[in-house]
Structures are given as C-alpha cells and as structure tokens.
C-alpha cells in the first residue's frame, strides 16, 4: 500500500539548468547523500523503500532517512509510505538528467562553468575563479584493458591481429565463456532488475582477486558503434553497473565502442571511488578484444 506525503513537483519550464545545478551542488556536499541519490536513481524501479536503499548503500536506517529527507526537502525526490515504511520516489525530470547531475557533482570546475540564471556568463566570465582541487587520494581510478587482467593470461600467446566478427556472437556464449575463464560457478540468468550481466569475485587483476561486474551487449544490437543511448531502455545501464558492490567494471560489445561510453564510465568510476573510498578499475572489451579472447580460450566459448 502506497501513501504519498506532500511533495514538490519539479517545474521543468522554470529554468532546468538552475535545477540541475542545485541538485549537483546538494549531492556534492556529502558522500553519503551521493550514495543515497545514486541508489534511488539507479535501475528502473520508480519507488524504493529505505530498507532497499540500506542494502544498496551499506548505510544504516538513520543515515538513509537523514539524507533522504534532505533530498526530499530540496525537491530532488518525493517521500511517501509503502506498506508502512518510508520510501522515496524518483522525480521524472531529475531521472532524465541524472547523468548530467552526476557529471557536474563530480567536477567542481564544470559545475562552476555551468550557466544558470544566477551565473549566466559562467563560461565567458573574465572574473578570476578559484579552483579547488581534491587530493588525488580521494579519487583513485584506473582504466584497464584485457591485457591488464591476470585471469586472461593466455592472451600473451595469442595473436594481436584478429578479424572482426562476421556475425554477432550469442550473448549467452560470451557470458558463459567469461564464467569459465574466471571459474565463477552456477548459472547466470537474465532478469529485468539486474545491474550487471555477470558479477564475480574470482577475477584476478594486479595479483589479487577483485570483485568484478561485467555488462555484455550481444547480438540484439546490430549497430556498428555502441554509444550511451544504446545502454538500456533509459540509457542508464552504465549507471546501474556502477551501483553494484564491485571494484572492477567492464563493458563488452562485439563491435566498436564509442569514446563517449568510456567517458561516462570514467565519470561513474570517479563517483564510485569517492563514495566508497577505494580504487576503482574500469574498461571496455570491444570486438577485436573479444575475438582475441575467443582465440585464446576456444574451448570456453562454445
């Protein structure tokens, strides 16, 4: 049973840039608030209970309620009751603009230059802008390739020159191959609410086992170049991937992957590192690298 509490309705016609900047500034001020925002706005679920957000963030009930109230008071979300429990509902405007909000929240320089009514000439202003740089220790990320993964050691004995796929490989075959390489047991099944196609604790990188989340884009897509808008029905698959409890995030596609995908992954890697306080690894596996893996492990990809 859902019961709504009084909430503000976002007027997207007033000034959308002001609203985007306000949301980015608000979540930028608190790592914990950022975690709550990401948990609420990840995936397709419109309303999330406090208990669900607790599981996604690792925060306790008091912390979630405190920062949920802050977001609700500022009109970023709506607060309600679901089966007697406090819950939060996405705002349609902020759900559509979440990628931009996260990008600005993770980069103060971008946020300062973002034009609003209060600061319309931000990008062209001649006034001196004081740039505050966060210590590198707070944001630790590393872009990797398949050659950096210890679990793919047989690649050293395979040719670097490969042919592109004549036809798209089945996503199930690719996923099963990765499972066999890493030694991840069990069956990996697809369902609508998943945040990654494969989650494993058996991927070795830099001499250590690391929790890894992988998204596969299979033959259902026949585009030559993968861009963020092809990532899920709402274009939020990359964001959802980074909400998993992993430290390594990989994206595989059987053709070319656009640089905008890498740029978006880098933004969410920075947010994840800042939020979790640890180093985050991310990378892509395009058609050529996928073919190299199949050449190196032919028995696993059948």
Tens digit of each residue's pLDDT (9 = 90 or more) over 225-265: 888 888 876 677 888 899 899 999 999 998 899 999 999 99
Tell me the CB-side half-sphere exposure of residue 66, using CA atoms within 13 A: 11
Minimum mean pLDDT range among 90-104, 181-195, 225-239, 243-257: 181-195
Question: Residue 22 pLDDT > 90, yes or no?
Answer: no
Per the model's pLDDT, the better-predicted residue between 1 and 124 turns out to be 1
Domains of the chain, CATH where assigned? 2-133 (1.10.10.10), 141-296 (3.40.1350)
Distance CA 159, CA 296 (A): 9
Number of neighbours of residue 96 by Cβ within 10 angstroms: 15
* pLDDT greater at residue 248 or residue 103: 248
Residue holding tokens 């596609």? 253
Could you say which DSSP state residue 224 is in? S
177 pLDDT more than 90: yes
pTM of the shown model: 0.57
């Amino acid at each position: 049973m859902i019961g709504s509490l009084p909430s503000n309705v976002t007027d997207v016609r007033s000034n959308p840039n002001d609203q985007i900047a306000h949301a980015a500034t608000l979540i930028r001020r608190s790592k914990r608030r950022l975690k709550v925002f990401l948990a609420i706005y990840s995936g397709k679920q419109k309303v999330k209970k406090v208990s669900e957000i607790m599981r996604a963030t690792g925060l306790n009930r008091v912390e979630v309620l405190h920062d949920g109230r802050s977001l609700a008071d500022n009109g970023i979300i709506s607060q309600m009751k679901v089966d007697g429990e406090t819950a939060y509902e996405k705002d349609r405007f902020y759900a559509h603009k979440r990628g931009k909000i996260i990008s600005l929240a993770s980069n103060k320089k971008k946020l300062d230059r973002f034009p609003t009514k209060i600061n319309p000439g931000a990008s062209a202003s001649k006034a001196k802008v004081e740039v505050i740089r966060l210590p590198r220790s707070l944001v630790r990320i590393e872009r990797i390739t398949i050659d950096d993964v210890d679990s793919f050691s047989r690649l050293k004995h395979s040719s670097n020159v490969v042919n592109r796929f004549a036809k798209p490989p089945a996503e199930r075959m690719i996923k099963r191959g990765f499972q066999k390489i890493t030694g991840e047991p069990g069956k990996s099944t697809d369902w609508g609410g998943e945040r990654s196609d494969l989650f494993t604790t058996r991927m070795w990188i830099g001499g250590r086992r690391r929790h890894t989340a992988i998204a596969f884009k299979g033959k259902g897509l026949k585009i030559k170049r993968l861009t963020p808008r092809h990532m899920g029905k709402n274009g939020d698959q990359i964001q959802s991937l980074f909400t998993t409890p992993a430290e390594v995030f990989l994206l595989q596609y059987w053709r070319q992957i656009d640089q905008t995908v890498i740029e978006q992954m880098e933004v969410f890697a920075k947010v994840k590192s800042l939020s979790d306080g640890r180093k985050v690894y991310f990378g892509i596996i395009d058609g050529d690298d996928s073919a190299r893996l199949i050449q190196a492990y032919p028995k696993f990809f059948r």
